[in-house]
Amino acid sequence: MNPVATWRRLLAELLGTALLVTAVVGSGIMAATLSPDDVGLQLLQNSIATAFALGALILTFGPVSGAHFNPVVSAADWFLGRRTGTGLSLRDLAGYTVAQTIGAIAGSVLANLMFDLAAVDISAKTRTGTHLWLGEVVATTGLLLLIFALARSGRAAVAPAAVGAYIGAAYWFTSSTSFANPAVSIGRAFTDTFAGISPGSLPGFIAAQLIGLALGVGLLLALYPDVAAAAEKVVIPAERAARRQRAASRR
């Protein structure tokens, strides 16, 4: 289990999620300001900033908490490792989820303030429809497959680049622009800007993300029957996981 104190891990998840949402919302505001008449360019600017920020944040906070920044990732880690005791405990899952959600809201507030907007400005941007929900299912399922496949195969070191690249790409190949994260979805409801989502649209998005969670876990179990062993590598500090891998290879 992760030797880092629980409060440090929760603080890392709160700060990491806050800065992720700040990057998403802040780059969206900047994009809309710099390219007011070109939505495609706005999305490009927003996606590039988010991809790079996510990779940097995983590098920064991964050694402390695993850098989940996402209740879906934390829930998958708990479920896959629950029988072997290799993932988050149920208590940790609850703590991570609360920290991530508070962090996401704080991230929107921070971005609003940085751009001289009202600290809390509830979004009026409606995002609803079966096609958008399907996009969220695809984005969430793919994210889980990537994270746990990397951990299982001993390639967790490339996760910052790989996860950042996936999210950046999913902005473009999914109809929903890949929220893939219940906490981030909630946080983005607190800004009426380019990246916002109305509170009324949240239930559909979160339900789709939970379906993606179930599909992702099911596919992981089908493709990798031993995936439970990887749950620990998504929680423990990266350097500790690397040491264990090196020690195992010498046996």
Distance (Å, rounded) from C-alpha 93 to C-alpha 71?
8
Residue-wise pLDDT tens digits, 63-121: 999 999 999 999 999 999 988 888 899 999 999 999 999 999 999 999 999 999 999 99
Q: What is the 3-state secondary structure (H, E, C) of 112-146?
A: HHHCCCCCCCCCCCCCCCHHHHHHHHHHHHHHHHH
DSSP output for 33-58: HH-TT-HHHHHHHHHHHHHHHHHHHH
φ, ψ for residue 121, nearest 5 deg? -140, 95
pLDDT at position 208 is 98
> Per-residue pLDDT for 149 more than 90?
yes
Distance (Å, rounded) from C-alpha 72 to C-alpha 68?
9
Mean pLDDT, the chain, whole residue set: 92
Tokens standing for residue 178: 């890949």
Around 244, how many Cα atoms within 13 Å sit in the side-chain half-sphere?
15
Over residues 218-228, the mean pLDDT reads 93
In sequence order, the 6+-apart residues with CB closer than 8 A to the CB of 180 are: 70, 72, 136, 139, 140, 143, 167, 170, 209, 212
- % pLDDT > 70, the chain: 92
CATH class of 6-249: mainly alpha
pLDDT at position 241 is 46
Residue-wise pLDDT tens digits, 12-57: 999 999 999 999 999 999 999 999 999 999 999 999 999 999 999 9
Distance (Å, rounded) from C-alpha 230 to C-alpha 226?
8
Hey, where are the domains in the chain?
6-249
Note the maximum CA span of the chain. Answer: 61
- Residue 215: burial class (beta carbons within 10 Å; 0-12, 13-18, 19+): middle
- % pLDDT > 90, the chain: 83
H or E element: which one contains 164? helix 159-173
